[in-house]
């Protein structure tokens, strides 16, 4: 390898903002910029170009110096190898790997440790890092996946309300309360659900979490469903009892009490951010 | 009752077209017009006004004569009692009942018999007619209901494909074929599902039906899920073993082999259409 081992770049980009960090000569400089979702390619590459220029200036390096860095770029919207290759080809760094933001989230949470991450917000994915690398399950979106997500909890709750209206399942305090909030008839819920986005359904997730903790039978069953999916993913990924497990995102920590005890025994706080993860992956991928 | 018992009107309206029939003096005249979905109120009432005028002309009656008829109007989009009252108030007939198109479908299929209907196309509902009237379950739409529908079969199939990609469930011939059709990666299916309508998901239903009949394990499990929902509805509605059961819609008849034998033993072809059902309900509702 001919490039300098002294320049390491990590980038974590999403639909709202993008963060970039440069490690050099024992120092770390960092910047934040606008959106960088790979599905809006030109905007993303413009944001990243601006951040790279800013990092070089902060570090007192000539603009072309970053081409010799090792870099890892984790961008939301990188869904295929083709997309990753397209992003890589548009970057000045010659030694760069590109993924979506799942591996960077996992590497940041776990540092160098073997362990797993369940990232559960509006959407959901479950991943594990070991000495053979990072593997991720899920993250396919509400219509056909994200089985533990806030959006799925909300959608399943409304399905249970309608089944209770039809007398096919029992009502609970939560299903009655949600029905009352929509005017007391199924029609209100049908109107809501016909146009609801994943984010709209996810607004119901905090009520499912709170009701489940208070003993509501329907809510508890939904949390158990989601936890069952997380546990199935962890088992498929080879997660061992007691091994590190980080529950992340707005809903993730709420699943702690619904997981099997062996899995829950490994629970710990994430070590760092997805930007930290991008730096870790940049360094690791530069190693022989 | 002061109105003439000799004029009976039935109307069956939906998003594509509307049919109306008039019974008088032992004759039946019938017309078809444009769309009449109650969610597009003015268009629907315009269509119906035109049909009523045409029926009066065909029958050789003065335009105002139909105000004395007994009528039942079954329109798609009538989701609340308020909506039904608004439609009724806009009609010239003084003795009119308004529902969505579910009761008319059921009454038309069963005539005067006790029995049940499972209407399964893109959406789904299950209903039963007995001497105490008609009761309907389901029909809440894909996001939170329609558990036996073609749309749900398609959405569940894609969910199974993604679970198989992740190693959480076994692949089958059908899941492999669907994956190959979308370019061999999950990304193609995610792109499709992110914007797919109920009708888009339902395009996959014939493949589920055919694969299940050929012994595909995943497809068979999905048909069994749908049939389980239909059976639960029938039980909740009080359907007795051997009692008449009509499977209607593009997908309905495919469930015959997946239903419990006691339920399947009552299978028979529908007696008539939703327009026939509207006439039956108009007459029945006029009875003391």
Task: Residue A138: list chain B partners with CB under 8 A.
Answer: 166
Domains, chain B, ordered by start: 8-112+271-286 (3.30.420.40), 150-264 (3.30.420.40)
Give yes or no for B141 touching A (CB within 8 A).
yes
Q: Give Rg (Cα) of chain A.
A: 22
Q: Is residue B5 very low, low, confident or very high in pLDDT (cuts 50, 70, 90)? A: low
Task: Residue A236: list chain B partners with CB under 8 A.
Answer: 166-168
Give yes or no for A143 touching B (CB within 8 A).
yes
* Other beta carbons less than 10 A from residue B53's beta carbon: 14
What pLDDT, in 10s, does the model give residues A255-281?
A: 999 999 999 999 999 999 999 999 999
What pLDDT, in 10s, does the model give residues A187-230?
A: 999 999 999 999 999 999 999 999 999 999 999 999 999 999 99
* Other beta carbons less than 10 A from residue B6's beta carbon: 12
Secondary structure (3-state) at A2:
coil
Question: Please, what's the b/e burial string for B83-109 (b: 16 or more CB within 10 A of its CB; e: otherwise)?
Answer: bbeebbeebbbebbbbbbbbbbbbbbb
Q: How far is it, in rounded angstroms, from Cα B93 to Cα B97? A: 10
pLDDT over 70, % of chain A: 97
What pLDDT, in 10s, does the model give residues B247-259?
A: 999 999 999 999 9
CB A126 within 8 A of CB A230: yes
* pLDDT above 50 (res B3): no
Report the mean per-residue pLDDT for chain A: 93
Give yes or no for A85 touching B (CB within 8 A).
no
Q: Is the ipTM of this complex over 0.85?
A: yes
Contacts of A79 (CB under 8 A, 6+ apart): A38, A100, B187, B190
Give yes or no for A155 touching B (CB within 8 A).
yes
Contact between B193 and A233 using a beta-carbon 8 Å cutoff: no
Q: How far is it, in rounded angstroms, from Cα A100 to Cα B257? A: 45
Q: Is residue B236 very low, low, confident or very high in pLDDT (cuts 50, 70, 90)? A: very high
Give yes or no for A195 touching B (CB within 8 A).
no
Q: Is B287 exposed, middle or buried (0-12, 13-18, 19+ CB in 10 A)?
A: exposed
Task: Residue A161: list chain B partners with CB under 8 A.
Answer: 144
Secondary structure (3-state) at A61:
coil
Q: Which of residues A64 and A170 earns the better pLDDT score?
A: A170
CB A111 within 8 A of CB A134: no
Tokens 């008039």 label which residue?
B22
Contact between B233 and A166 using a beta-carbon 8 Å cutoff: yes
* pLDDT above 60 (res B288): no
Q: Is residue A14 very low, low, confident or very high in pLDDT (cuts 50, 70, 90)? A: confident
């Amino acid at each position: 390898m001919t490039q300098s081992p002294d320049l390491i770049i990590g980038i974590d980009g999403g639909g709202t903002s993008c963060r970039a960090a440069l490690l050099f000569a024992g120092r770390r400089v960092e910047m934040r910029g606008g959106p960088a979702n790979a599905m809006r390619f030109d905007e993303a590459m413009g944001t990243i170009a601006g951040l790279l220029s800013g990092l070089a200036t902060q570090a007192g390096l000539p603009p072309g110096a970053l081409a010799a860095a090792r870099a890892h770029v984790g961008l939301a919207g990188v869904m295929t190898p083709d997309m990753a290759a397209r992003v890589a080809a548009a970057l000045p760094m010659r030694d760069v790997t590109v993924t979506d933001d799942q591996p960077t989230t996992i590497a940041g949470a776990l540092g160098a440790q073997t362990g797993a991450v369940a990232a559960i917000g509006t959407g959901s994915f479950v991943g594990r890092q070991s000495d053979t690398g990072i593997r991720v399950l899920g993250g396919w979106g509400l219509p056909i996946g994200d089985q533990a997500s806030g959006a799925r909890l909300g959608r399943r709750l409304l399905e249970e309300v309608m089944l209770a209206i039809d007398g096919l399942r029992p009502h609970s305090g939560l299903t009655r309360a949600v029905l009352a909030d929509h005017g007391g008839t199924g029609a209100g819920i049908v109107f809501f659900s016909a146009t609801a986005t994943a984010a709209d359904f996810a607004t119901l997730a905090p009520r499912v979490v709170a009701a489940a903790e208070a003993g509501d039978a329907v809510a508890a069953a939904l949390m158990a469903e989601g936890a069952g999916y997380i546990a199935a993913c962890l088992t498929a990924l080879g997660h061992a009892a007691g091994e590190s497990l980080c529950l992340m995102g707005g809903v993730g920590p709420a699943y702690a009490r619904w997981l099997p005890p062996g899995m829950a025994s490994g629970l710990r706080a994430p070590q760092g951010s997805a930007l930290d993860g991008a730096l870790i992956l940049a360094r690791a991928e530069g190693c022989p």
